Amino acid sequence: MRNRFAPIALVATLLVCLAGVRAEARSDDRNDAAASNAAALRELLEGANGRREAWTAAPSLVIVTSVMDYTSGDLMNGYAATAEQLTEQERDALVADLTQGLSELTGGQLKAFADVRVELVSEGQTVKVLRAGQIVAGRYRGVQSKTGSIGYGGRMTRGSQITAAAVIIDRDADRDQKQQRVIRTHELGHALGYNHVESRPSIMNPRAGGGLTDFDREALRAGYLR
């Protein structure tokens, strides 16, 4: 779960009170906690580029029901569709998970996409996945075997404004009910402008594999669209 393609500084201080500790020590603990949280938040919101990237309005969501071949193309040129299709139930579950993820990842500021479109593509047809104003999501064959990752969230920006994004999920990994929603939410996070957090458990930690944490909820509630 890597973002291969992604300004505000936010400090959420954790206060730890221990009986018998001198006031000076408590002050140092608070300073250390504040510095640790500030560093983690910079990872999440600014990343290596040192700037906050975000949508200025709710994007549209496009679900490509044709499973695409990851080995056949790239983000800029698109990918070829295979004959395999998502079922109606699988499509609806993907829409539901990404819509819930949108609300969670924006601290409730965006509760729904601008609209949701379902796209059926013929086998062999090239699918463009970076489209202005849209997040294009779908399953792909061969992501994990080719890259070692189980998904990608890519975004295109103009300055700090996200103009287009894609959610790319390995087909086999996305069938695993235990990790399905975490993968979808993580990759959507990249499409919304978030970066990997390596320093603590987080939905955006590529190794943790868990859901939203208290750190995420505080950061996302205060950080999105500022």
The answer to the question of residue 135 being in a domain is yes
3-state secondary structure 53-84: CECCCCCEEEEECEEEEEEEEECCCEEEEEEE
Position 28 scores a pLDDT of 55
The answer to the question of residue 96 being in a domain is yes
Residue-wise pLDDT tens digits, 18-28: 222 333 445 55
The answer to the question of residue 31 being in a domain is no
Position 30 scores a pLDDT of 58
72 neighbors 64 (Cβ within 8 angstroms): no
Q: Which pLDDT band holds residue 31 (cuts at 50, 70, 90)? A: low
User: Angle, nearest 10°, between helix axes 180-191 and 88-105?
Assistant: 60
Q: Which pLDDT band holds residue 109 (cuts at 50, 70, 90)? A: confident
The answer to the question of residue 124 being in a domain is yes
Position 25 scores a pLDDT of 41
- Over range 125-146, report the average pLDDT: 97
More confident residue, 152 or 7: 152
Position 13 scores a pLDDT of 22
- Over range 209-217, report the average pLDDT: 88
- When divided into structural domains, the chain yields a total of 1
The answer to the question of residue 84 being in a domain is yes
The answer to the question of residue 4 being in a domain is no
Position 181 scores a pLDDT of 94
The answer to the question of residue 91 being in a domain is yes
Position 210 scores a pLDDT of 82
Position 7 scores a pLDDT of 26
Question: Lowest-confidence range among 103-117, 136-150, 204-218?
Answer: 204-218
Helix (H) or strand (E) holding 182: helix 180-191
- Over range 93-102, report the average pLDDT: 97
What is the CATH classification number for the domain harbouring 79? 3.40.390
Position 32 scores a pLDDT of 63
- Over range 163-173, report the average pLDDT: 97
Q: How many angstroms separate the CA atoms of 208 and 191, rounded? A: 19
Q: Which domain holds residue 178?
A: 60-196
The answer to the question of residue 93 being in a domain is yes
Is it the case that residue 196 has pLDDT exceeding 80? yes
Average pLDDT, the chain: 84
